[in-house]
Amino acid sequence: MLADLDLRAVPAAPADGSAQDKADFGTLYDWQARRTADQCARARTQMSHSYEVFFGKMNLFGAQTPAQVTSFFRNVGEDSVAAHKYLKDAYQRPRPFVRDAGIKPCLPRVAGFGYPSGHATMARLFALILADLMPARRSEFLGIADEAGLNRVISGVHHPTDVAAGKTLADVLHKELVKTPQFAADLRALRPLLK
């Protein structure tokens, strides 16, 4: 899938010292000054990224997620990881705490580059898929995904523009997925499993 993707919709990472970059750090310092222990604790519950982490507690497919659902979201998640890693390697934007020692994350310091946010990408992609399955709950799913992205900013491990780029990447990935007959078939197979 990655070879066929048109990723031009995802903007380049902001240049160091640009107005966007400075705004990122303004937001990061603002959150650092006012974040609560509860917000950091919520971010800590999402240190990894998967369907179970973001949406598993909603029991959308019952208390025990069926293997078919787990496998579907694992495969989509692998596509998401491949795409965000490709862009991280292309832009090589260090995480905020690497660039500015004044940024003190309330999560363990994550390795690797920051742009785009893999958490924001995967959470939004899963939310869009769930919205395909349950359109009436679209805003709820997207709200959960937005919170997952914001948690990465609040905790100091991503710039706000990392998260914004992750959301854009998710939109690109979803747009490509819905074009494929296999995706349509997968959704048809998942719908009867919803509770």
pLDDT at 1: 57
pLDDT in tens, 55-113: 999 999 999 999 999 999 999 999 999 999 999 999 999 999 999 999 999 999 989 99
Taking only the tens place, the pLDDT of each residue in 162-184 is 999 999 999 999 999 999 999 99
Q: Which residues contact 100 (CB under 8 A, 6 or more apart)?
A: 25
- For 15-193, which CATH class? mainly alpha
Average pLDDT over residues 105-131: 97
Q: Which residues contact 167 (CB under 8 A, 6 or more apart)?
A: 120, 121, 124, 145, 149
- Name the pLDDT band for 155 (thresholds 50, 70, 90): very high
| Amino acid making up residue 111 | A
Q: Rounded to whole angstroms, how far apart are CA atoms 161 and 159?
A: 5
How many beta carbons lie within 10 A of that of residue 156, not counting itself?
A: 25
For residue 145, the model assigns a pLDDT of 98
pLDDT at 100: 97
120 is written with which tokens? 């924001």
Phi then psi for residue 111, to 5 deg, are: -80, 170
18 three-state secondary structure: coil
Query: Would the CA dihedral through 25, 27, 30, 33 be positive or negative?
Result: negative
Q: Which two tokens stand for residue 170?
A: 């998710």
Strand partners, 62: 60
- pLDDT interval class at 2 (50, 70, 90): low
pTM for the model stands at: 0.96
pLDDT tens, residue by residue, 17-56: 999 999 999 999 999 999 999 999 999 999 999 999 999 9
- Region 132-160: what's the mean pLDDT? 98
3-state secondary structure 75-133: HHHHHHHHHHHHHHHHHCCCCHHHHCCCCCCCCCCCCCCCCCCHHHHHHHHHHHHHHHH
